[in-house]
Amino acid sequence: MIALEPTVLSLLGAFPFDRVYVESIIYVSLYVSLTAVVLSTLASIPIALGVGFTDFPGKGFVIAVINTGMGFPSVVVGLLVLFLVSNQGPLGPLDLVFTKEAMIISQFVLAFPVITGVTLAAVTSVEDGVRDAAYAMGGTRVDVALVTVKEARYGIATGILAGLGRAISEVGSVLIVGGNIASADGTAITRTLTTAIQLEARQGRFDTALILGAILVTIVLSINAIVLRLGGGRV
Amino acid sequence: MQRRELLATVAGGATIGLAGCASAGGSDGSAGPTIAEETLTLATTTSTYDTGLLDEINAAFQKRYGARVDAVAQGTGAALETARSGDADVVMVHARSLEDDFIREGYGINRRDLMFNDFVIVGPEDDPAGIDEVGEAIAAFEAIADAEATFVSRGDNSGTHTKELAIWEAAGVEPGGDWYREAGAGMGEVLNQANQSGAYTLADRGTFIAQRSKLALSIRVQGPIEDGPELLANPYGILAVNPAVHENVTYDLAMAYIGFITSQKGQSIIQEFTVDGEQLFFPEAISADPDFQQYVPEDWEPAE
């Protein structure tokens, strides 16, 4: 097999296991976690803005729930999502159990409170003066929201990174709802870096587990570095 | 499972894209009737998966039928539970009593004897409980309990755990106390833990051989394959999930899988599968003598 990308991928070829196997694991990890984080972000920001800038009864309770969710155990989320997507559960007919989609659902649930919580803190700390000025200049509610998001963008980026960190590094829920499946030809189906590390450790192949761990850390580090650079070092 | 087909296609395509090479997939677009593109979900035990046997069998099955097998490796108890909720199509496990319950409750049908290996009692070289001379499972467990030598239990309702509890019961020992550790983990992990803490454990021979080179443990009591006690026999069975209970299961494909794995081809893969030059599993599906007991619970009798 010819290495088309000589830099990173040829390094992978030197590892004590199949290249296709590792690449497909990395792909599954990124696909599941990035999709979950994108969906969480799309849901989180409007909700954080809504909660942050409106007063309603029970607001304190909602914030408490969001903050609690930031630390919700991933295995419990996995178990609840399993009940949801299992053949016996409400989403049973969609046949989602042991698929990447089920894993996306559980990581969405995990990342959502983190992104919402940090975004909420970021947007509420935007000074009132900024929003008042936007109003005064004749901005609509959408304009004001956009100005607020722009002001709070570094805080929001931190929230998204924290959500991604939580999603890509958790093992409990993806193991339960995904089943850690690889096909017989060595292509990961629902096997992520974390569940692969768990499997390799279970089989006593600690060297392979460590290399997969290093890949995981490198990926998280790279994403953080990219966002940091885009943010001009202010994230 | 229409949805999984789509997912498989999408995932496959994207994986190939990521790998940067157009590898020839198992499913070509050849004409004619085919069950290619379908996915079979197999709930199975860590022992068949971690040894690498399943990869060999599933690759051969995929080559012959074009259908992908998604193997979910759990303990026997968890695998049967997954099948109970209709999340698997076929189950390969090794705890006859749990399989029998599964059949009685109506969830499983068409059970076949598949293969066997055996359990071995492994422990550290210095053998603190002195079970080397015993050569017998029940007495060895009694000696471990008497010496309060550290013993790591699977503690996960797996086939191995079920067997271990049966031996403790036969020995009249209620295991507990500091020396008895329930790991709640798979076989490989338990072997690692026993290795780290110089403890005894009950292991299936397959997983032990597969990991032996990384362990400072060795076999203290042999199973029946090496003329040990019959109590340590470890037979594997395969069952289809009953389509009358769970309509969504791909029953025809499940039966094709059971047919394949109990065929001459499937059984010869099991026969020829070795790790470190040692055979791990012994096929037992092909026999000219009718064995009706493999289809029904062990104590089942026809109504008069």
Integer Rg of chain B from CA: 21
- Give the range of the structural domain holding residue A74, as residue numbers without chain letter: 29-190
Supply the CATH number for residue A160's domain.
1.10.3720.10
User: In a 10 Å sphere around its CB, with 0-12 CB exposed, 13-18 middle and 19+ buried, how is residue B165 labelled?
Assistant: middle
Distance from CA of A181 to the nearest CA of B (A): 6
Pairing relation of β-strands B39-45 and B201-204? unpaired
Question: Considering only CA atoms, which of B161, B170, B219 is closest in space to residue B190?
Answer: B161
8 Å CB contact of A95 and B50: no
CA distances from residue A20 to A67, B15, B18, B19 in whole angstroms, order as listed: 40, 9, 9, 7
CA distance B127 to chain A (A): 22
Q: Which residue of A has its CA nearest to B50?
A: A203
pTM: 0.79
Let me know if residue A98 belongs to a domain.
yes
Distance between alpha carbon B295 and the CA centroid of its chain, in Å?
18
Mutating which of B18, B187, B193, B217 best tests the A interface, going by the most A Cβ atoms within 10 A?
A: B18
Q: How far is A192 from A107, CA to CA, in rounded Å?
A: 12
| CA distance to A16, A99, A131, A175, per residue, from B45 (Å) | 25, 19, 59, 15
User: Per the domain annotation, does A222 fall within a domain?
Assistant: no
Q: At what angle do helices B2-19 and A19-53 cross, to 10 degrees?
A: 110
pLDDT at B27: 42
In a domain, residue A125? The reply is yes
Tell me, what's the ipTM?
0.73
Q: CA A102: distance to chain centroid?
A: 14
A164 domain-assigned = yes
Cβ count near B181 (within 10 Å) = 19
Q: Can you list the domains of chain B with their CATH numbers?
A: 38-117+235-285 (3.40.190.10), 118-232 (3.40.190.10)
A175 has pLDDT over 60: yes
pLDDT at A2 over 80: no
Let me know if residue A139 belongs to a domain.
yes
Closest CA to A210 of A225, A196, A220, A189: A196
Distance CA B258, CA B251 (A): 10
Distance from the B59 Cα atom to the nearest Cα atom in chain A, whole angstroms: 5
CA gap B187, B164 in Å, rounded: 12
Count of domains in chain A? 1
Using the Cα atoms of residue A77, residue A79, residue A80 and residue A81 in order, give the sign of their dihedral: positive
Predicted local distance difference test score (pLDDT) of residue B218: 93
Decide if pLDDT at A33 tops 90: yes
- A24 or A129: which leads in pLDDT: A24
Contact across the interface for A99 and B3, Cβ inside 8 Å: yes
Q: Taking CA atoms, what residue in B is nearest to A88?
A: B85
> Residue A103 in contact with residue A195, Cβ under 8 Å?
no
CB contacts, 8 Å: A185 with chain B: 26, 59, 62
Cα A84 from Cα A89, distance rounded (Å): 5
Look at residue A106 and tell me if it is in a domain.
yes
Looking only at the bridges linking them, the beta strands covering B108-124 and B39-45 are unpaired
* pLDDT tens, N- to C-terminus, chain B (304 residues): 444 444 444 444 444 444 433 333 334 444 455 566 789 999 998 888 888 899 999 999 999 998 999 999 988 889 999 999 999 999 999 999 999 999 999 999 999 999 999 999 999 999 999 898 888 899 999 999 999 999 999 988 888 999 999 999 999 999 888 899 998 888 888 999 999 999 999 999 988 988 888 899 999 999 999 888 899 999 999 999 999 999 989 999 999 999 999 999 999 999 999 988 889 899 999 999 888 889 888 888 877 6
